[in-house]
Amino acid sequence: MSPRLAFIGLGRMGLGISENILHHGDIDKPLVLYNRTMEKALDHSRRLGDCQVAESIPAAVSAADIVWLCLQDQEAVEEAFDQILTTDLHGKLFVDSSTTTPDTANSIARRVCDAGGEFVAAPVMGGPPMALTRSLICIASGPAGSVDRVRPYLNGVMCRKVVDLSGEDPGRGLLLKLMGNFLIMATMETVAEAHVFAEKSGIGIDNMNRLMSAVFPDPPHALYSRQMLTGEYHSGTPLVEVSKALTLMDEVLDLAHQCGASIKIYETAREHMQAAQELGGPNTDIAGVYGAVRVESGLPFWNTPE
């Protein structure tokens, strides 16, 4: 028999992931939904059908064999597990796609296992549009048998590729995920500086775009260029707000300092992220590092898209 699944956290990422699990995963319907703001869960349930909205986290957990979470940050995850741990966890598997620190993931995994449950860390790379189109990259870590229970809902269901760390501590998956964030921010910093350099030198952003797409034919350079040059970083709905990114960036810097790694490009990106927050406000998208580099180079923060 297929397992019953509950999904907790219907934010920008959770909406897409839960929809794909419902439509493409082999689960015993209905899919149980819980969100702190219940209206969002009710809307999602009405739109998808085959769902049932739970009134509390313990109610969602009691109704499911597999409980998937995708919450804002580690405080939210810790609060959720404080409630989860008041229920009977025997036989239940928890899958967390939230971004937390490695220590938090390991500590939650220990608490869940001590209470008779299983825990798999499944943080993701890729934003809300990729969550909707099943194009995420998922890093799966935890006991091999537990990861095997989650595997039917990963590749081709909620993501397009799994970086498989089964058998390793959940914290190792989070460590790799935070290094993925390092790669993204370092690339975004490069793209932002390249475009400002092109504009200031007179060669122009169009020529820089042509060069970038010739040298790096695939995203992410093209994607970040679009977010910057179209002005999406200041006029669209943010995919990730600078205020949220700054907290995560500090965690990455702490991890790098703890192990003695020198990541200067990331420190520069952190400075530009801070400036983007000051110049554009906390809800500016992370591509606002472009605006910060522009200001440093004597240009206005807001660009004028063609």
Ligand X SMILES: NC(=O)c1ccc[n+]([C@@H]2O[C@H](COP(=O)([O-])OP(=O)(O)OC[C@H]3O[C@@H](n4cnc5c(N)ncnc54)[C@H](OP(=O)(O)O)[C@@H]3O)[C@@H](O)[C@H]2O)c1
Taking the complex as a whole, the smallest distance from the CB of residue 58 to ligand X amounts, in Å, to 13
CB 200 within 8 A of CB 297: yes
> Phi first, then psi: what are they for 249, rounded to 5°?
-65, -35
**Taking the complex as a whole, how short is the minimal distance between the CB of residue 168 and ligand X, in angstroms?**
20
Least separation, in Å, of the C-beta of 275 and ligand X?
21
Which chain residues interact with ligand X by CB under 6 A?
9-14, 35-37, 40, 70-73, 76, 79-80, 98-99, 124, 127-128, 239-240
A 10 A CB-CB count for 73 gives: 16
- By beta-carbon proximity to ligand X, the closer residue of 89 and 239 is 239
Contacts of 58 (CB under 8 A, 6+ apart): 83, 84, 86, 87
Contact predicate 81/106, CB 8 Å: no
Q: Which is nearer to ligand X, 17 or 208 (CB)?
A: 17
C-beta of 198 vs 251, nearer to ligand X: 251
Shortest CB 295 distance to ligand X, Å = 24
- By 3-state DSSP, what share of the chain in percent is helix, strand and coil, each rounded to 5? 55, 15, 30
Q: Exposure of 304 by Cβ count < 10 A (0-12 exposed, 13-18 middle, 19+ buried)?
A: exposed
**Residue closer to ligand X (CB basis): 127 or 288:** 127
Active-site residue, 29 included: no
Amino acid at 89: L
Q: What's the CA gap between 168 and 273, in Å, rounded?
A: 32
Cβ–Cβ contacts within 10 Å for residue 173, how many? Answer: 27
Which residue among the candidates 29, 177, 200, 264 is catalytic per the annotation?
177
When the beta carbons of 81 and 301 are compared against ligand X, the nearer one is 81
Q: How many CB atoms lie within 10 A of CB 257?
A: 11
Q: To the nearest whole angstrom, how small is the minimum distance from the Cβ of residue 233 to ligand X?
A: 14
Q: Which residues are catalytic?
A: 177
